Structure 1
Amino acid sequence: MSCFSDSPMPEDFPNFLHNSKFLEYFRIFAKKFDLLKYIQFQTTILSVRKHPDFLSSGQWVVVTERNGKEQSAVFDAVMVYSGHHIVPNIPLDSFPGIQKFKGQYFHSRQYKHPEGFERKHILVIGMGNSASDIAIELSKKAAQVFISTRHGSWILRRISEDGYPWDMVYHTQFSSMLRNVLPRKVVKWMTEQQMNRWFNHENYGLIPQNKYLMKEPVLNDDLPSRILYVAIKVKSRVKELTETSAIFEDGTVEEDINVIVFATGYTVSFSFLEDHLVKVENNKVLLYKYMFPPHLEKSTLVCIGLIQPLGSIFPTVELQARWITRIFKGLCTLLSERTTMADIIKRNGKRIDLFGESQSQILQTNYVDYLDELALEIGAKPDLLSLLFKDPKLAMKLYFGPCNSYQYRLVGPGQWKGARSATFTQKQQILKPLKTRSLKTSSTFLVSFLLKFLGLLTVVAAFFFQIQWF
Structure 2
Amino acid sequence: MKSVAIIGAGAAGLTCLKSLLEYGIQPVVFERSDRSGGLWKLNQNERECDTAAYRSLITNTSKQMMAFSDFPFEKEVADFPSREVVSEYLKNYTEQFNLAQYIQFNTSVIRADKETDGRFVVEVESGGSKETHTFDWLIVANGRHEKTSIPEIDGLVTFPGTVLHSRDYFSPESFEGTKVLVVGAGSSAIDIASEVAEVAPGTFLSMRSPSWLVPRFIDDKAYDLLLTKLSASLPKVVREKAFRSKLMKAYKQYDDEAIRQYFGKPDHSLDLEKQRFVPNDLLLKRLEQGKLKVKPVIQSISRDQVTFEDGSSETIDTIIFATGYQIDIPFMESSFTGVENNYIPLYQQIFSPVTPNLAMCGMCYIVGPILPALEMQGRYIAEVIAGHTQLPSAEIMEQEVEKHRVLCEERKVNPMRVQTLTYLDTIAQIIDVAPKVWRNPGSLLQLLTGPVVAARYRLNGRQSKKAQARKVLKDLTKRI
Q: TM-score range by the shorter chain?
A: 0.7 to 0.9
Summarize the alignment of residues 358-373 of structure 1 with structure 2, pairs less than 5 Å apart. 361-373=414-426
Q: Which amino acid aligns with 1:304?
A: C
Change (3 A) 1:352 1:187: farther
Counterpart code for 1:84: R
- Whether the aligned pair in 1 keeps the contact of 2:179 and 2:201 (CA below 8 Å) is yes
| Structure 2 runs not aligned, ≥5 long | 1-64
Displacement, 1:405?
0.8
Q: Residues 206 and 234 of structure 1 are in contact (CA less than 8 Å); yes or no, is this contact kept in structure 2?
A: no
Say yes or no: does 1:51 pair with 2:115. yes
Tell me which of 240, 245, 249 is aligned to 1:193.
245
Q: Indicate the structure with greater helix content.
A: 1
The answer as to 2:358 corresponding to 1:301 is yes
What secondary structure, in the 3-state scheme, does the structure 2 residue paired with 1:288 have?
A: coil
Aligned with residue 80 of structure 1, among 137, 140, 143: 140
Residue 168 (str. 1) matches residue 225 (str. 2): yes
Residue equivalent to 1:449: none
1:18-417 → structure 2 map (5 Å cutoff): 18-54=82-118, 59-91=119-151, 93=152, 95-161=153-219, 163-170=220-227, 172-178=228-234, 182=235, 184-199=236-251, 203-206=260-263, 211-212=270-271, 214-254=274-314, 256-296=315-355, 298=356, 300-352=357-409, 356-357=412-413, 361-384=414-437, 386-387=438-439, 391=441, 393-416=442-465, 417=467
Is 1:124–1:263's contact at 8 Å kept on the other side of the alignment? yes
Structure 2 contact 307–313 (Cα < 8 Å) conserved: yes
In structure 2, how many angstroms separate the alpha carbons of the residues matched to 1:224 and 1:395?
40
Match among 80, 87, 98 for residue 16 of structure 1: 80
Letter in 2 for 1:426: L
One-letter identity of the residue aligned with 2:417: Q
Partner of 1:445: none
Q: Deviations over 1:378-404 (max 9, x none)?
A: 1110122x34xx61x412111211111
Displacement of 1:427:
4.9
Deviation at 1:104, TM superposition (A): 1.0
| Corresponding letter in the other structure for 2:87 | L
Deviation at 1:153, TM superposition (A): 1.3
Does the C-alpha gap of structure 1 residues 295 and 24 become closer, same or farther in structure 2, counting only changes over 3 Å?
Answer: same
Report the alpha carbon displacement of residue 15 of structure 1 after superposing the two structures with TM.
1.5
Cα offsets for 1:104-141 (capped at 9, x unmatched):
11111011112221110100011110111111111111
* CA RMSD across the alignment: 2.0
- Structure 1 unpaired stretches of 5+: 432-470
Cα distance in 1 between the residues matched to 2:244 and 2:179: 33
Q: Which of 421, 429, 432 is 2:471 aligned to?
A: 421
CA distance in 1, matches of 2:282, 2:93: 32
Structure 1 residues 423 and 353: alpha-carbon distance in aligned structure 2, compared to 1, 3 A threshold: farther
How many residues in Structure 1 have an aligned counterpart in Structure 2? 407
Instruction: Measure how far apart 1:362 and its partner are.
Output: 4.8
Q: 1:431-442, aligned counterparts within 5 Å?
A: none
Matched residue type, 2:104: Q
Query: Following the alignment from structure 1 to structure 2, what is the Cα–Cα distance between the partners of residues 350 and 405?
Result: 28
- Distance in 1 (CA, whole Å) between partners of 2:105 and 2:226 is 38
Question: Residues 67-103 of structure 1, C-alpha deviation per residue, up to 9 Å, x if partnerless?
Answer: 1111111122111112222200112x2x111111111
- Determine if contact 2:370/2:420 at 8 Å carries over to the other structure: no
Write the distance in 1 (CA, Å) between the matches of 2:398 and 2:247: 36
Contact 2:112–2:120 (Cα < 8 Å) also in 1: yes
> What is the DSSP-based 3-state SS (H/G/I as helix, E as strand, rest coil) of the residue aligned with 2:395?
helix
- How far the C-alpha of 1:42 sits from its partner, in A, is 1.4
**Alignment-derived partner of residue 41 in structure 2:** none
Instruction: Give 2:471's aligned amino acid.
Output: S
